[in-house]
Amino acid sequence: MSKKLLLIIPFYNEASRIDLTTYNHAFQQYTDCDFLLVNDGSSDNTASVIKDLSDKHPNAAALDLKINKGKAEAIRQAVLHSKNKNYTHIGYLDADLATPFDEFFRIWDFAQKNSLYSFVMGSRVKKLGSDITRYSYRHYSGRIFATIASKLILKAPVYDTQCGAKIINYDLAITLFEKPFITKWVFDLELLLRYKAIEKHYLHKIFEYGLSVWIEKGDSKITFKDLLGFPYQLVKIYFAYGR
């Protein structure tokens, strides 16, 4: 029986902090999902670690990209690699598991029960009853980014475009990831703009799923310098996708 979900997880120089116990447990627990682990041209031994990990589980595979291109291109290559498969949805998740597997599969459960939505986004809304832990400088810079992205570029009330947990209808994902992105870290916003370009009522088909748990992990691949460069990337997106 073909599986419905392909979960893509990109890795870059993660060998020293891959939680093998957690990954092994997830592969054993969620056997109705296929996992694609992508090495994004790491300079350490990440490629061999994820290859060894995937070899132990029939529902896990490894894709080795020889040159580092960034998260956007790593996920894009993985989506293209999945072409002609019989999945209904493609999801992606950050390798540090800031969004835990259990939380991601709650999003998946929601997506399956609510087929009206073709694009379900994790959203890091800090509220009573949730455990959303972020560094202060990233939280406040993120809120500035989100406000600009939603009000000036998308012109839609999106709270969190940048959360690393998303699930997209398979056919839609193949379309949205067809062409390379113009930015390295802000491709999630580009995805929404690409969807907007092909679907007039796209906002009715997107759902922001409020996460119960999201824990910031150390050694983020997004540096403070990257954060300072986000305004320039927003300008590039603004002019590339129409004003």
pLDDT in the model for residue 169: 97
Q: For residue range 41-95, list pLDDT tens digits in order.
A: 999 999 999 999 999 999 999 999 999 999 999 999 999 999 988 899 999 999 9
The answer, as to whether pTM is greater than 0.75, is: yes
Model pLDDT, residue 98? 95
10 Å Cβ neighbour count for 116? 7
Residues 6+ apart with CB under 8 A from 25: none
Q: Are 40 and 70 in contact (CB under 8 A)?
A: yes
pLDDT for the residue 241: 86
Residues in the chain where the model's pLDDT stays below 70: 1-2, 135-146, 218-229, 242-243
Cα 31 from chain centroid (whole Å): 20
* Distant-in-sequence contacts of 44-49, Cβ < 8 A, 24+ apart: 44/13, 44/15, 44/16, 45/15, 46/11, 46/12, 46/13, 46/14, 46/15, 46/18, 49/14, 49/15, 49/18, 49/20
Query: If DSSP codes are grouped into helix, strand and coil, which group holds residue 152?
Result: helix
User: Which two structure tokens, joined as six digits, stand for 238?
Assistant: 């603004």
pLDDT of residue 1: 46
Q: What pLDDT shows up at residue 185?
A: 79
Q: Give dist(CA 170, CA 173) in Å, integer.
A: 5
CB atoms within 10 A of CB 159: 15
> What distance in Å separates the CA atoms of residue 190 and residue 92, rounded to the nearest whole number?
15
Helix (H) or strand (E) holding 218: none
